[in-house]
């Protein structure tokens, strides 16, 4: 029997958070820290989501949390740009718009006075050493914490060795990978352990089984590509994220 998957394979690549359609996920060339608002617009309890496209993938979950809890949510994200204060390259070239965006983002958040900041980024910025990444995290966390916000840092999503759409199209067998093979860098965890005021959240147990990660969970395709969860699956993790953050 053919099981119907959500999103369908044909729709998978387009199963992205609404901030893409709303054009407030900043592209790779511009440096302005553009934002989108969700939830209760008049609430004085503000959640800010910040980071790259791996942070952006959590927008569907945080939108639900904001709407249900009466919070306002503002997203500030930029493609391929880690929020950690590091020099990063884009396809081997310098990426100055990333640094400028980061400075603008920090200034914006300082003015917003959020109650909570959720920050996340991909685990595969391989041109940056773990030590530099850790120092970059600690540096920018000081700015985030100086706003008075509670700071949650979300671990990067497990990195699949191949594109889920290719694997699913090729295989009748399940696309399953040992967890040990899909783990990213340990820089975030190491840095978070050294800054007690930071709340470290690892969502992997909500995405993977104890020793394996499966592209399909129930009848949902959980990854839209090798780095990002599908918006459908990320939205289903809202209560898991809410519990992890103690909200």
Q: Per residue in 58-76, pLDDT tens?
A: 999 999 999 999 999 999 9
Bridge partners of 118, per DSSP, are: 49, 152
Q: Angle of helix 130-146 relative to helix 96-112, nearest 10 degrees?
A: 30
What CA–CA distance (Å, rounded) separates 242 from 47? 12
The pLDDT assigned to 1 comes to 45
The pLDDT assigned to 225 comes to 96
The pLDDT assigned to 172 comes to 64
CA 59, 62, 68, 73 torsion-angle sign? negative
Q: For residue range 132-161, list pLDDT tens digits in order.
A: 999 999 999 999 999 999 999 999 999 999
What CA–CA distance (Å, rounded) separates 23 from 38? 14
Low-confidence ranges of the chain (pLDDT < 50): 1
How far lies 174's CA from each of 76, 77, 207, 224, in Å? 35, 33, 15, 16
The pLDDT assigned to 206 comes to 95
The pLDDT assigned to 146 comes to 98
């Amino acid at each position: 029997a053919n099981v119907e998957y959500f999103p369908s394979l044909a729709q998978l690549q387009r199963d992205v958070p609404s901030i893409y359609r709303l054009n407030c996920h900043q592209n790779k060339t511009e440096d302005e820290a553009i934002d989108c608002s969700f939830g209760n617009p008049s609430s004085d309890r503000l959640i800010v989501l910040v980071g790259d496209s791996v942070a952006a993938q959590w927008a569907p979950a945080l939108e639900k949390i904001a709407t249900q809890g009466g919070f306002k949510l503002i997203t500030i994200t930029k493609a391929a740009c880690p929020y950690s204060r590091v020099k990063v390259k884009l396809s081997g070239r310098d990426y100055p718009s990333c640094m400028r965006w980061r400075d603008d983002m920090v200034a914006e958040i300082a003015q917003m006075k959020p109650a909570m900041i959720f920050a996340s980024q991909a685990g595969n910025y391989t041109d940056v050493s773990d030590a530099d990444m850790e120092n970059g995290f600690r540096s920018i966390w000081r700015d985030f914490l100086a706003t008075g916000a509670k700071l949650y840092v979300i671990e990067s999503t497990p990195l699949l060795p191949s594109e889920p759409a290719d694997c699913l199209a090729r295989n009748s067998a399940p696309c399953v990978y040992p967890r040990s093979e899909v783990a990213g860098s340990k820089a975030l965890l190491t840095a978070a352990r050294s800054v007690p005021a930071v709340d470290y959240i690892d969502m992997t147990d909500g995405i993977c089984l104890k020793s394996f990660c499966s592209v399909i969970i129930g009848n949902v395709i959980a990854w839209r590509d090798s780095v990002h969860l599908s918006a459908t699956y990320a939205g289903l993790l809202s209560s898991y994220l809410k519990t992890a953050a103690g909200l």
